[in-house]
Amino acid sequence: MSALKIKKGTTSKSAYNLRSNYDDLIERHTLAVLVANEPGVLARVIGLFSGRGYNIESLTVAEVEQDGHTSRITIVTTGTPQVIEQIKAQLGRIVPVYEVHDLTVEGPSVERELSLFKVSGTGEKRVEALRLADVFRANVVDSTLTNFTFEVVGSPEKIDAFAELMRPLGLSEMARTGVAALSRGYLKIK
Amino acid sequence: MAQIMSGAKMVVQALIDQGVDTVFGYPGGAVLPIYDEIFQQNSIKHFLVRHEQGAVHAAEGYARSTGKPGVVLVTSGPGATNAVTGLTDALMDSVPIIVMTGQVPTFMIGSDAFQEADTIGITRPCTKHNWLVKDTEELAETLHTAFHVAKTGRPGPVLVDIPKDVQFADGTYKGPSKVKSHYQPKVKGDLKAITELVEAMENAKKPIFYTGGGVINSGPAASQLLRELVAGTNFPITSTLMGLGSYPAKGENWLGMLGMHGLYEANMAMHDCDLMINIGARFDDRITGRLDAFSPGSIKAHVDIDPSSINKVIRVDIPIVGDVGHVLEDLLNVWKSRGRKTQNKDLKAWWGQIDIWRKVRCLDYKADTKTIKPQYALERLEALTKDHDRFITTEVGQHQMWAAQYLGFNDPNRWMTSGGLGTMGYGFPASIGVQVAHPDSLVINVAGEASWLMNMQEMGTAMQYGLPVKQFILNNERLGMVRQWQELLHGERYSQSWSESLPDFVKLAEAFGAKGILCSDPEDLDDAIIEMLKHNGPVIFDCAVEKHENCFPMIPSGKAHNEMLLGDASTDGAIDAAGSVLV
């Protein structure tokens, strides 16, 4: 049967809604981007996101291979499937970008984030904070008579949950590294 | 053999080794060492422009008319910032340009030094890639890589920022053959997808080729293959503004340009087709009109070397990432090997429908015996120059669309216009770059008076180098396209869209030592054009045209291809509220 009998290729979007997503679900994707570790490469990646109106939920970057001068950028982004595809294609165009991998679709992956929480309080609240920290397998990395600084490592959701619990117990400050992610199993990028 | 030389000398040596013989530029403090080297050699000819924007547009004209990259040399700070418009223009239209900028010495970077600007930061979003060279040892490799990146894949502008101390210091020069780049975009298309497209072509009842600037960027061979494919299949073909000339305007299957001011038959065929074969175009908003009504019943195939062009605006059914020339070659081979099949009977009916659309004669206009209609001026220009070895550049606006509609382009690289960015002021410097590359050819810049004034200082460049560029100005004393939109969209309130205190263009030409011609009577037009062509030197042709002419056909913003306005149509309420927010 002729393929031409199937009507397809139409788009349901109009020009006024190029960035709209009313007919598509917003998805959250974790991208691993291997780049040449040269000056300005991070600015190129960030400039792409701001210039084209894409979202960045978190972004981490560090050199991972000293000999090859390769850095790995892990970006958590959100968008419709079409926007996510565009983000990957646009990243791929950047000259010092070697590879772009979508860990969300390329099989199972692990995501971890490190965070530090400063919790101030005395008496019952202080004991409760320490007890909850134990439940979350948080490390105490600094303590004074009125403060604890906890280190929590885990998925972003776990860190969100810990922050919620600490808030009524005197959470005064927090810092998060953003997500680092790897695919599971023996599959490797590069 | 390692050669030790200064950074400035390396710049000249690298250009020579890259086959460059022409540089457009403007000196200044931070590039003096390079200019000193240019002074002491004869391999590279430097053309001194009058403004750095002109240098980049001239390089664009040079590049697009030759297929070779254009080279620009400017100083730091204002030299670099003035180049930004040209860089953005070249990025939007995929023109290979290498811009070298001077920079304050490395030890002064960040100190707000005289004529310091963060050139790399400013030009990052308007170049394909850019480099700040902090060590003379890296200069040669960076320059060769810059040429590679500009020319490879989807072409584009690159910039190399060279601090003055790097120009003075000595380093080891490396030739181009010693430089390897990881940047190697895929040029061969996926054979499975190509076969899928051939199957669709074999079954298509109402197919159309929709081609763009990618065909021209791929080189003359791609245009030849396209012609062979069109002749073999007998499919109709239309092209974007950027792709004019890849298929000849005198060819039998040519429908004319498509898009906002495209031809009726081209847009209607795009809307009604059942197979759309996009070759090297990018579904620009000037082409698609309203997206949810864009060619609703067609299977869409898209050949593009840039993966990010695929599914960016329009979802396609058959994506093929690859260079147009390579893909067309494979496409032709597969189609031939499968027996050169098409649905001949259906195609005949399709051509019958197209002939009905052609009978609308969408480019007809009301002729006038007293005033020169701009369309008439271009018809006469076409009639009197079409047999010349001719290159056309344009500025941006109504005249640009009329030029695309009324002039015929039968070969690639003959038509230079600012498509994506729509840069007023592009055409004159571009014509200079074209003339530099083709000294014995006829180069005409079809202009509007408002656009032309934006880079009129380049008259000095044209005079200095004896470049006989013809400036054919359709003078309506209006910003014609702005005026047209104000008529359609803003209740005929012509806010700031007329030009007062226009110069006397004949005297202006004479002030530069050029020839000026004024023509306002249709009867005199042919003689005046012939006079322009006969003059061996730059000419400013002031063609006083009808002031209130609108450019039709027109797809109003937010409307579909089959909702075109034609010449005698009422324009009341042509653009609705939703369309009015679009540009």
pLDDT of B85-102, one tens digit each?
Answer: 999 999 999 999 999 999
- Is A12 near chain B, with CB under 8 Å? yes
Radius of gyration of chain B (CA): 24
Instruction: Give the pLDDT band of residue B571 (cuts 50, 70, 90).
Output: low
- B312 Rama sector, left if φ>0, alpha if ψ -120 to 50, beta otherwise: alpha
Is position A2 within any domain?
Answer: no
Q: Nearest by CB to A4, which of B299, B310, B315? A: B299
For residue B149, the chain A residues in CB contact (below 8 A) are: 95
Q: b or e along B514-541 (b: 16 or more beta carbons within 10 Å of the residue's beta carbon)? A: bbbbbbeebeebeebbeebbeeeebbbb
Q: Give the SS3 label for residue A73.
A: strand
B166-203 burial, b if ≥16 CB within 10 A, otherwise e? Answer: bbebebebbebeebeeebeeebebbeebbbbbbbbbbb
Percentage of chain B with pLDDT > 70? 98
Residue A39, SS3? coil
State the fold for domain B3-178: Rossmann fold (3.40.50)
Question: Which CATH number is B191-358's, of 3.40.50.1220, 2.40.50.140, 1.10.3720.10, 3.30.429.10?
Answer: 3.40.50.1220
- Read off the tokens for B113: 């030094």
Is the predicted pLDDT of residue B26 greater than 80, yes or no? yes
What integer pLDDT is reported at residue A10 of this predicted model? 37
pLDDT band at A145 (very low <50, low <70, confident <90, very high): very high
A 10 A CB-CB count for A102 gives 16
Q: Beta-carbon neighbour count of residue B2 at 10 Å?
A: 7
- Indicate if A119 and A169 belong to the same structural domain: yes
CA-based nearest residue in chain B for residue A52: B125
A98/A115 same-domain check: no
**Average pLDDT of the residues in A52-67:** 94
pLDDT of residue B572: 63
How far apart CA B309 and CA B286 sit, in angstroms, is: 15
- pLDDT score for A189: 73
DSSP β-bridge partners for residue B71 = B98
Nearest Cα residue to B372 out of B544, B150, B180:
B544
Identify from B91, B129, B133, B288 which residue to disrupt to test chain A contact, counting A C-beta atoms within 10 A and taking the largest count: B129
CATH superfamily label, B374-544: Thiamin diphosphate (ThDP)-binding fold, Pyr/PP domains (3.40.50.970)
A13 falls within a domain:
no
Confidence of residue A5 (pLDDT cuts 50, 70, 90): very low
| Domain spans, chain B | 3-178, 191-358, 374-544
Instruction: Looking at the structure, tell me whether residues A64 and A121 fall in a common domain.
Output: no
- Asked whether the bond before B553 is cis by omega within 30 degrees of 0, the reply is yes
Looking at the partner chain, which of B128, B205, B275 has a beta carbon nearest the beta carbon of A95? B128
**pLDDT-based confidence at A144, cuts 50/70/90?**
very high
Mean pLDDT over A126-152 rounds to 96
**Which residues of A are less than 8 Å from B342 in CB distance?**
none
Residue A82, domain member (yes or no) = yes
The pLDDT tens digits of the residues spanning B334-374 come to: 999 999 999 999 999 999 999 999 999 999 999 999 999 99
Per the listing, tokens 């403090």 go with: B29
Please give the Cα distance from B16 to B143 (Å, whole number): 12
Q: Same domain, yes or no, for A89 and A131?
A: no
Answer yes or no: is pLDDT of B518 > 80.
yes
Out of A3, A16, A85, the one facing B578 most closely (by C-beta) is A16
Dist CA B532 CA A183 (whole Å): 69
Q: Is residue A147 part of a domain?
A: yes
- The answer to whether the beta carbons of residues B575 and B557 sit under 8 Å apart is yes
Say whether residue B275 is in contact with chain A using an 8 A CB cutoff. Answer: yes
Contact B288 A15 (CB under 8 A): yes
Taking the Cβ of residue B69 and every Cβ of chain A, the question of whether any pair is shorter than 8 Å is answered with no
Same domain, residue pair A120 and A66: no
Token pair listed for B253: 């299957």
Quick: pLDDT tens for B477-512: 999 999 999 998 888 999 999 988 999 999 999 999
Give yes or no for residue A21 having a pLDDT over 60.
Answer: no
Report the distance separating Cα B281 and Cα A149, nearest Å. 57
Are the beta carbons of B246 and B216 closer than 8 angstroms? yes
Q: How far is the first Cα of chain A from the last one, in angstroms, to the nearest whole number? A: 43
In-domain check, residue A149: yes
Count of C-beta atoms within a 10 Å radius of residue A186: 5
CB within 8 Å: B274 and A4: yes
Q: What order do you get walking across the sheet with B22-26 strand by strand?
A: B45-48, B22-26, B70-74, B97-103, B157-163, B129-132
Is the Cβ of B466 closer than 8 Å to some Cβ of chain A? no
Give the containing element (helix H, strand E) for A120: strand A109-120
Long-range contacts of A46-50 (CB under 8 A, 24+ apart): A47/B124, A47/B125, A48/A90, A48/A91, A48/A94, A49/A75, A49/A77, A49/A87
pLDDT band at A11 (very low <50, low <70, confident <90, very high): very low
**Number of domains chain A contains:** 2
Say whether both A72 and A130 belong to one domain.
no
Report the greatest alpha carbon distance in chain B.
Answer: 74
**Amino acid present at B96:** P
Find the angle CA(B125)-CA(B48)-CA(B449) to the nearest 5 degrees.
75
The SS3 of residue B131 is strand
- What is the strand order of the sheet B275-279 is part of? B254-257, B237-239, B207-211, B275-279, B299-304, B318-321
- Say which residue the tokens 């308007």 belong to: B126
Tell me which chain B residues have a C-beta less than 8 angstroms from the C-beta of A6.
299
Name the closest residue on chain A to residue B579, using Cα atoms.
Answer: A16
- Integer Cα distance of B91 and A151 in angstroms: 47
Write out the catalytic residue numbers of B. 52, 114-115, 164, 481
The reply to whether A118 and A171 lie within a common domain is yes
For residue A126, give its domain range: 110-182
- Same domain (yes/no): A162, A114: yes
Domain end, chosen from A102, A128, A162, is at A102
User: Closest chain B residue to A47 measured between Cα atoms?
Assistant: B125
- C-alpha span between B55 and B100 (Å, rounded): 12
Has residue A19 been placed in a domain? no
* Residue type (1 letter), B63: A
Mutate to test the interface with A, among B311, B341, B343 (most CBs of A within 10 A): B311
Residue A100, min C-alpha distance to chain B (Å)? 13
Residue B318 phi/psi, 5-degree rounding, is -125, 90
CA atoms within 13 A on the CB side of B161: 26
pLDDT, mean over chain B: 96
Q: Choose the final residue of a domain: A56, A85, A102.
A: A102
Q: Is residue A7 part of a domain?
A: no
A residues 94-113 closer than 8 Å to B (CB): 94-96, 98
Residue A188: inside a domain: no
**Given B200, B288, B311, which is nearest A85 (Cβ)?**
B311
Residues A130 and A74 occupy one common structural domain? no
Same domain, A92 and A118: no
Last residue of a domain, one of A102, A123, A146: A102
Respond yes or no on whether ipTM tops 0.85.
yes
State mean pLDDT over B103-113: 98
Is the Cβ of B582 closer than 8 Å to some Cβ of chain A? yes
The pLDDT of residue B575: 72
For residue B135, pLDDT over 60 is answered with yes
Residue B551 has pLDDT above 70, yes or no: yes
Q: Does B269 score more than 90 pLDDT?
A: yes
Is residue A12 predicted with pLDDT exceeding 50? no
Integer Cα distance of B130 and B159 in angstroms: 5
- Whether the Cβ atoms of residue B382 and residue B406 lie closer than 8 Å to each other: yes
Q: Are B36 and B64 in contact (CB under 8 A)?
A: no
Of the given ranges (A43-47, A66-70, B101-105, B194-198), which has the lowest mean pLDDT? A66-70
Is A14 in Cβ contact with B311 (below 8 Å)?
A: no
Interface of B with A in 203-232 (CB under 8 A): 203-205
Chain B's closest residue to A18, CA to CA, is B313
Angstrom distances, CA of residue B41 to CA of A125, B4, B29, B75, B514 = 80, 18, 20, 20, 30
A3 — contact with chain B (CB < 8 Å)? yes
Is residue B292 less than 8 Å (CB to CB) from chain A?
A: yes
Token pair listed for B288: 């698609």
CA B115-B118-B121 angle, 5° bins: 155
Find where tokens 């490799």 sit: B141
CATH number of the domain enclosing A115? 3.30.70.1150
Q: What is the rounded average pLDDT of the residues B105-121? A: 98
SS3 B307: helix
Pick from B119-133, B198-212, B222-236, B548-562: least confident: B548-562
Q: Are residues A93 and A133 in the same domain?
A: no
A66 touches chain B (CB under 8 A): no
- Check residue A190 and give its pLDDT: 60
